[in-house]
Amino acid sequence: MTIRVLVADDQEMVRAGFAMILDAQPDLEVVASCADGVEALEAARRLRPDVALLDIRMPRLDGLEVTRLLAGPDVADPVRVVVVTTFDLDEYVHAALRGGAVGFLLKDAGPALLVEAVRAAAAGESLISPAVTVRLLQQLSGPASSTARTPREPLTPRELDVVRLVARGLTNAEVAGELFVSLGTVKAHLGSVQAKLGARNRVEVAAWAWEAGEVGAA
């Protein structure tokens, strides 16, 4: 199945470069190339791409606001958004993830990581640039936060094992290898955890683990 991608960036060379990288993949197709936030929002609502790649600093409407409007908590049928930016600022990362983004990449991450992020988003997973993942989540560590959501049901010990590894930035395949279980088992555990937490993706699961003080727990 072809993954349909929208690319939004105010620099034509960036849009062209992303399109060249993505269209070279047999399972990816760029269906829209947008120069500003308003154009990106309208195109995404009209075309319903599988994944939207959004820059942050764009004319008329910035990428963080577009993300919130396409993928925010109040959106009934969210688009899977990956924010791709030059700016490695924690405030941008937090705002993007709170706005519903399932991925956050730096533009210098390289073609392979860009393709991986698109495929992960389309599969309902997420990818954050390794350069920011651990630093971002460690800021949420420390004593359990009173703002951490309470699970609808207690997580099982094995589910907590999975959550702690996800919170450290491991992929599903790496979690499976670490715990000596199948990839399907990891996905099943994550699905159960998301239901119990009311989390929409693994990024929210990871954030919960840090906020709740679960990372580093025995």
DSSP helix/strand/coil, 216: coil
Domain stop point among 118, 133, 148: 133
Tens digit of each residue's pLDDT (9 = 90 or more) over 25-69: 999 999 999 999 999 999 999 999 999 999 999 999 999 999 999
Which structural domain, as residue segments, surrounds residue 114?
Answer: 3-133
Residue 142 has pLDDT above 60, yes or no: no
> Quick check: 176 and 66 in contact, CB under 8 A?
no
Percent of the chain predicted with pLDDT > 90: 51
Tell me, yes or no, whether 144 and 71 share the same domain.
no
Tens digit of each residue's pLDDT (9 = 90 or more) over 157-198: 999 999 998 887 777 888 899 999 998 999 899 999 999 998
Listed residue (146, 173, 178, 147) closest to 161, CA to CA: 178
Tell me, yes or no, whether 102 and 157 share the same domain.
no
pTM: 0.69
pLDDT at residue 79, as a whole number: 94
Tell me, yes or no, whether 171 and 125 share the same domain.
no
Tokens 């840090």 found at: 210
